[in-house]
Structure 1
Amino acid sequence: MIKGADNLQKKLDEMYRCNLKNAIQIGITLVQDAAKMNCPVHDGELRSKIMTDVTEQGDNTTGACWSAAAHGTCVELGTGPKGQSEHEGISPNITVAYTQSAWWIPEGSGDDGIDRETAELYHFPYIDTPNGRFYHCSGQAAQPFLYPALKNNEEKIVEIIKEEVKGQL
């Protein structure tokens, strides 16, 4: 038995966890930066709401990057018939169920409506009714920005983790 081996092992474990968390934070920030650079921008909300978090649970350290914007998933994966036909670049590890028919969006602000400027930007056809203007939408093509940000940086993240941990040894 080696005197002090338990204390040494405890120190090594603490050092490893600390460096691993730091490495994952650096790696997930790299993903966040890439996602912000690659996301489509209309008013900047989507870009400003790309978030990250690093959590430790037991022996596991996890980094996550996601969009907190309500429309982030729709942009990443696409919507409707158009999204189903144009979804190249999304994660192959998820299965998306797209609605098969077009829909009408009322003009207005809030979660249920669309403002006129945005509808015109996307060239949505419309009808005027006694209940207001409604825009016809058959969905949007996927514009992946999160998955490619991770996939295109996998090797860099592995190197960051290796270097961080190696630096302490």
Structure 2
Amino acid sequence: MNRLRRKLKQIPKIAKEAAIDATSDVVDLTQIYAVQNVQSQSKHPTGELAQSIKTEVAEDVSGNVVGRVWSDKKQAFFKEFGTGPVGQESPKDLPPGIVLSYRQTRWFFPTSYVDRDLSLLYGMLTVSIKEVDFYMTRGQPASPWLYPALKDASKEAPGIFKETLNRYMKEGLK
């Protein structure tokens, strides 16, 4: 009877360890899908966005295991949701609770801000103002890469959690 009680007391600790491990696996899978999405959608990839995708598994203030996947690059947001009227008009699958607002007018930025000729790559117009060349744009279409990756990994998550929990319980309760 004492042996049974000891094993029962171990279950919460084992379950927490399994949850951390399974969450880590799902987060890693989400990152893999996100990198694949970014690379397959990019017309002229530099690898900068794909290499910037980070992951983290931690406990929140309530003790829940939380996984995060993100990029700290500005272009990550622009790529996911698009920009300007072009981005607003482009189809996208938004996560629940996300409401976006888009700039409605065109804008200009110096051609020196980028290391590629966007006129050749994307047909962007250039304008010279006081001997400085600028690109003119109405935005870019959305190319969702993170939310689709999360949705794809979420389909596999229940199986990952089940297998991991079973493995941890078998090992931990021997």
TM-score, length-normalised on structure 2? 0.85
Q: 1:60 aligns with which of 55, 58, 64?
A: 64
1:69 is matched with which residue? 73
Q: Decide whether aligned partners of structure 1 residues 54 and 91 sit closer, same or farther in structure 2, where only a CA change above 3 A counts.
A: same
- What is the number of residues matched between the two proteins? 164
**28-37 or 124-133: which moved more?**
124-133
Per-residue deviation, 1:126: 0.9
Pairing 1:1-169 to 2, within 5 Å after superposition: 3=2, 7-39=6-38, 40-41=41-42, 42-57=45-60, 58-108=62-112, 113-169=113-169
Per-residue deviation, 1:119: 4.6
Q: Judge conservation of contact 1:78–1:87 (CA < 8 Å) in 2.
A: no
Task: State the SS of the aligned residue for 1:152.
Answer: helix
**59-68 or 25-34: which moved more?**
59-68
Deviations 1:77-116 (A, max 9, x none): 10000000003233343111111111011121xxxx3345
2:172 is matched with which residue? none
Residue identity opposite 2:89 in structure 1: S
Larger proportion of helix = 2
TM-score, length-normalised on structure 1? 0.87
What is the rounded CA distance, in whole Å, between the counterparts of 2:32 and 2:110 in structure 1?
Answer: 35
Per-residue deviation, 1:3: 4.4
Q: Judge conservation of contact 1:19–1:164 (CA < 8 Å) in 2.
A: yes
**44-53 or 122-131: which moved more?**
122-131
Per-residue deviation, 1:155: 2.1
Q: Judge conservation of contact 2:81–2:92 (CA < 8 Å) in 1.
A: no
Q: Judge conservation of contact 1:56–1:62 (CA < 8 Å) in 2.
A: yes
Structure 2, unaligned runs of 5 or more: 170-174
Residue identity opposite 2:24 in structure 1: Q
